[in-house]
Amino acid sequence: MTPPGATAGGTQEDNVSTYHGFGRRATDLLELEGRAWRPILVPAPSGVTGGAGVLGRHLSRIDELNRRVAELERDNRELAAFAADVAHDLRAPLQAVSGFAELLARREGARFDGTSQGFVDRILSAASAIAELVEAVLEHRQSSCAALAPTWVNGNDLVVAVLLRLQRDVDAAGAAVELGELPTVFADRVQLGRVFQNLLSNAIRAAHPDRTPKITITARRVGTAWEFAVTDNGVGVAAEDRSRIFELFQRGMGEGQRSAGHGVGLAICRTIVERHGGRVGVEKAPGGGARFSFTIPDRRQGLSGTDRARPQP
């Protein structure tokens, strides 16, 4: 049977050419197949000349940067581990120095004159300071590498517990502490407690000699996070030191400050806050002093309405 529109005496090519009314010709399909296997040339980004060569150089630089970042992260981990090992190994000799100095003072103290007794006191004081630094380094290592165990933490309950631990220091400084309404956040309770303890200890040490220390702990909503603040009326922090003091072993000391610390506490705060996805900073407080603040993301933002309304442990 001859297809409609085809002549009985036509050639095969003529008959094929008449089939376009019912679909694509076989030659068209072959042409499409050939196009499908042709390589696609990706145009260079706008403003970039040189084509594939320039793109290749950019990719190579990205690979090099990634490699250097990986090397720096590895070096930092090794350095932190080395510092922790050294600090741990210093514990035993420090305890020996302190122990024998105390034994010497008890056994021969009656024979010592004032100068000799002063020497012993300096030995004990120096050994105690080094021991505190060793513990601070180990604490920094713990805050940097220990796995976080986040849970729902009531801010007011946590700060009250921290203040109880610092009660002796608060009383000794004669400080007045005001605690505002703090939210419940999803964080590692132990680590977050360290942040508050370090900031409060810092505020006590920064007391101004001419006014009664006053410390205020507050919180407010900032975007999708909670911002906590510890504000004091102390000696404040110089503008040029406000970013530097969060580096390890970097200290800033205002006029009349009692103690500059070891330069580890604020570095621990930054490490813990950044591991929780937040940021930490300091600014001048109204009326003098410093306002240290840090943010913790509000994990409730990702919950459904029912889950958000449900009481959290």
Average pLDDT per block of 10 residues along the chain, 313 residues long: 47 43 45 48 53 73 84 71 72 84 85 87 84 73 78 96 94 93 95 94 90 94 95 87 75 53 79 93 89 92 42 43
Residue 40 within a domain: no
Domain end residue (candidates: 98, 121, 145): 145
* pLDDT score recorded for residue 76: 65
Question: Same structural domain for residues 185 and 285?
Answer: yes
Quote the domain boundaries for residue 74. Answer: 60-145
Return the H-helix or E-strand segment holding 32. helix 26-36
Buried b (16+ CB within 10 A) or exposed e, 49-67: eeeeeeeeeeeeeeeeeee
Question: Same structural domain for residues 92 and 183?
Answer: no
CATH of the domain at 264: 3.30.565.10
Question: Same structural domain for residues 67 and 192?
Answer: no
Question: Same structural domain for residues 105 and 158?
Answer: no
Q: Collapse the DSSP code of 226 into the 3-class scheme (helix H, G, I; strand E, B; otherwise coil) and give the result.
A: strand
* pLDDT score recorded for residue 8: 47
Question: Same structural domain for residues 187 and 154?
Answer: yes
Residue with tokens 């900073």: 281
Residue with tokens 């400084």: 173
Residue 262 within a domain: yes
* pLDDT score recorded for residue 306: 36
Domain end residue (candidates: 106, 126, 145): 145
pLDDT digits (tens, 9 = 90+) for 191-219: 999 999 999 999 999 898 888 999 999 99
Question: Same structural domain for residues 138 and 215?
Answer: no
Question: Same structural domain for residues 76 and 166?
Answer: no
* pLDDT score recorded for residue 148: 86
* pLDDT score recorded for residue 130: 79
Question: Same structural domain for residues 292 and 155?
Answer: yes
Question: Same structural domain for residues 169 and 141?
Answer: no
CATH of the domain at 77: 1.10.287
**What is the spatial distance between Cα 298 and Cα 303, in angstroms, rounded to a whole number?**
10
Domain end residue (candidates: 126, 145, 164): 145
Please tell me the total count of domains within the chain. Answer: 2
* pLDDT score recorded for residue 67: 85
Residue 29 within a domain: no
Question: Same structural domain for residues 78 and 173?
Answer: no
* pLDDT score recorded for residue 49: 55
Question: Same structural domain for residues 154 and 298?
Answer: yes
pTM, full prediction? 0.62
Residue 310 within a domain: no
* pLDDT score recorded for residue 281: 92
**What is the spatial distance between Cα 215 and Cα 102, in angstroms, rounded to a whole number?**
37
